Amino acid sequence: MRDSEHYLLFRLDSHRFAIEVGATERIIHAVEVTPLEGVPEVVLGIINVHGSIVPVYDLRRRFGIPAREIDITDQFLLARANQRTVALVTDAVLGVVQCPEGEDQAGRSGNRSALPLEDGPVPIHQLEQFLSADEEARLSAALAAMSATGTGAAARS
Least confident of 43-52, 124-133, 137-146: 124-133
Predicted pLDDT of residue 6: 92
The whole-number average pLDDT for the span 114-133 is 88
SS3 sequence, the chain? CCCEEEEEEEEECCEEEEEEHHHEEEEEECCCCECCCCCCCCEEEEEEECCEEEEEECHHHHHCCCCCCCCCCCEEEEEEECCEEEEEEECEEEEEEEEECCCCEECCCCCEEEEEECCEEEEECCHHHCCCHHHHHHHHHHHHHHHHHCCCCCCEC
Predicted pLDDT of residue 30: 96
Predicted pLDDT of residue 93: 96
Domains and CATH numbers, the chain: 4-149 (2.40.50.180)
Predicted pLDDT of residue 45: 96
Burial label for 86, CB within 10 Å (0-12, 13-18, 19+), is buried
* Gyration radius (Cα) of the chain, Å: 16
The whole-number average pLDDT for the span 13-17 is 94
Higher pLDDT, 46 or 81: 46
CA distance 123 to 69: 24
Q: pTM for the complete prediction?
A: 0.84
Instruction: Sheet with 105-106: list strands edge to edge.
Output: 105-106, 112-117, 120-123
Which tens digit of pLDDT belongs to each residue from 32-66?
999 999 999 999 999 999 999 999 999 999 899 99
